[in-house]
Amino acid sequence: MLSLLLARAGVPVTLLEAQRDFDRDFRGDTVHPATLEVLEQIGLAERVHELPHVKARSFRFVSATTVDTAAVFSRLPTKFPYIMIMPQARFLDFLAAEAARYPHFRLITGAHVDELIEENGSIVGVGYRQGNDRGAMRALLTVAADGRFSRLRKLAGMEPEPQTLPMEVLWFRLPRRAGDRYDEAAIAVGIRQGIAVLARTEEWQLGYIGPQGRYREIKSQGIEAFRRSVAEVLPWLADRVELLRDWSDVSLLSVQGNRLARWHRPGLLFIGDAAHVMSPVGGVGINCAIADAVEAVNVLAEPLRAGRVDELELAEVQRRREGVTRTIQNFQARVQRGMVAAFEAGRAFRLPLPVRLLMRIPFLRDIPPRITAFGVRRVRLERPAEVAVVRSET
């Protein structure tokens, strides 16, 4: 997203992608209203809606005896009152194809960055390997958008500070059938675990949530015990849990929210999970990362076109995004502590009573969905028009 927006703003961009393509199984499938509004600003919202997707108009916590509504998006004041669910690989292909329309955008795949090039205390590019070959890319600005296990963060010697308790999410998929009657986005709550349920067009993307160590415990009991546990929480899937043949059909993701104290060095900026890993609570990680990209363009496009970037401008990107990120992570931490405490005590988790009461008050109930949809503060492109003049150098 950052590459596309910078290219539209007339900035030459080279995107180094470690994998050969985007055709792999990501876990974050949600495109939030805030992102759709940005795509609307640049004329791409209608085209992204032409891709196969599912719309989730609410989000609920569901147990065997209770249903707690956490968010209803259909009341939000936006052209897009829903969470779009689309495989992230499809969304990334779309963004990359749009960026490729600009001659000053370049995508290099299979490029594993393993070196930061530093001169006079400033980062001036990166070194990378591509198969058996080595390459180097010099740049006015290097942006690390390489995720929760950021290689560039390690190369820069920067360590994030934990913000939430660790949790484990076991991701797997099961077929979605025409007769399935279930929310497109929900968390099904059982004893000692919850299961995030996201509807793709032809399958359910499922995330089995438990405290740290739960995976080791249930794996020791065997795949059949895992199938039973899934069927107990989601009995309508009992007729297809046998399709989980063995543990190769399950992927473990250990999650702990964290945040860098400083998101930048001279010539280097961290955004998204590389700067702040979000908890899976609320599924807002992608939304927060894209908001980082939008604010980075708002602050940096003009200096980049002028051929200079001051570290004060990099600090401004962090200033615009850090408070919002901190607020969301604090809320996630409170919810996550409650979930972990419930799971460890062997009881079903419920949303805290103040949140449940909040959802019943007409003039307050739209606060949680608004934060989920837009973050604490709505982020938009300040100058959405394309820029025709392009500098020729990298």
For residue 298, tell me if it sits in a domain: yes
Helix (H, G, I), strand (E, B) or coil at 57: coil
Per the model's pLDDT, the better-predicted residue between 310 and 281 turns out to be 310
Same structural domain, 153 and 187: no
Backbone conformation region of residue 92, classed left if phi is above 0, alpha if psi is from -120 to 50, else beta: alpha
**DSSP of 332-347:** HHHHHHHHHHHHHHTS
For the chain, give the number of residues: 394
Same structural domain, 249 and 331: no
Per-residue pLDDT band at 44 (split at 50, 70, 90): very high
311 within 8 A of 266, measured Cβ to Cβ? yes
For residue 84, tell me if it sits in a domain: yes
Top-confidence range, 240-244, 280-284, 364-368: 240-244
pLDDT above 50 (res 105): yes
Helix (H, G, I), strand (E, B) or coil at 274: helix
C-alpha 359/C-alpha 58 separation (Å) is 12
61 within 8 A of 351, measured Cβ to Cβ? yes
Per-residue pLDDT band at 393 (split at 50, 70, 90): very low
Beta-carbon neighbour count of residue 48 at 10 Å? 20
Number of structural domains (the chain) is 2
Q: Please choose, from the candidates 276, 53, 292, the residue with its C-alpha nearest in 3D space to the C-alpha of residue 185.
A: 53
Last residue of a domain, one of 200, 227, 255: 255
Same structural domain, 153 and 276: yes
Structure tokens at 168: 């484990």
Same structural domain, 224 and 295: no
Per-residue pLDDT band at 388 (split at 50, 70, 90): low
Same structural domain, 307 and 361: yes
Q: Please choose, from the candidates 257, 261, 265, 292, the residue with its C-alpha nearest in 3D space to the C-alpha of residue 155.
A: 265
For residue 382, tell me if it sits in a domain: no
How confident is the model over 288-328, as pLDDT tens digits? 999 999 999 999 999 999 999 999 999 999 999 999 999 99
Count Cβ neighbours within 10 Å for each residue of 295-330 and write b for 16 or more, e otherwise: bbbbbbbbbbbeeebeeebbbbbbebbbebbeebbe
Structure tokens at 224: 């059949």
Per-residue pLDDT band at 26 (split at 50, 70, 90): low
C-alpha 309/C-alpha 302 separation (Å) is 9
Torsion of CA 356, 362, 365, 370, to 10 degrees: 170
**Tell me, what's the pLDDT at 244?**
97
- Judged on CB neighbours under 10 Å (0-12, 13-18, 19+), 158 is buried
For residue 348, tell me if it sits in a domain: no
Same structural domain, 15 and 157: yes
How many Å from the N-terminal Cα to the C-terminal Cα in the chain? Answer: 19
Same structural domain, 242 and 287: no
Helix (H, G, I), strand (E, B) or coil at 249: helix
139 within 8 A of 124, measured Cβ to Cβ? yes
C-alpha 5/C-alpha 101 separation (Å) is 12
For residue 125, tell me if it sits in a domain: yes
71 within 8 A of 59, measured Cβ to Cβ? yes
φ, ψ for residue 83, nearest 5 deg? -95, 125
* Half-sphere exposure (Cβ direction) of 94: Cα atoms closer than 13 Å: 17
Same structural domain, 132 and 91: yes
The partner residues of 76 in beta bridges, in order of sequence, read none
pLDDT above 70 (res 385): yes
Same structural domain, 128 and 274: yes
Q: What angle do CA 376, 283, 366 make, to 5 degrees?
A: 45
For residue 176, tell me if it sits in a domain: yes
C-alpha 330/C-alpha 263 separation (Å) is 18
CATH number at residue 370: 3.50.50.60
For residue 392, tell me if it sits in a domain: no
**Tell me, what's the pLDDT at 56?**
95
Last residue of a domain, one of 255, 279, 300: 255
38 within 8 A of 381, measured Cβ to Cβ? yes
Per-residue pLDDT band at 69 (split at 50, 70, 90): confident
Helix (H, G, I), strand (E, B) or coil at 357: helix
Is the four-CA dihedral 30, 177, 45, 90 of positive or negative sign? positive
R_g over Cα of the chain: 21
Same structural domain, 152 and 26: yes
For residue 242, tell me if it sits in a domain: yes
Same structural domain, 44 and 148: yes
What pTM did the predictor assign?
Answer: 0.91
Same structural domain, 98 and 147: yes
Last residue of a domain, one of 235, 255, 275: 255
The domain containing residue 57 runs over which residues? Answer: 2-61+70-163+258-335+353-374
Non-local CB neighbours of 9 within 8 Å, separated by 6+ positions: 297, 301, 304, 305, 383, 386, 387
**Tell me, what's the pLDDT at 95?**
96
Q: What percent of the chain clears pLDDT 90, i.e. is strictly above it?
A: 69
109 within 8 A of 252, measured Cβ to Cβ? no
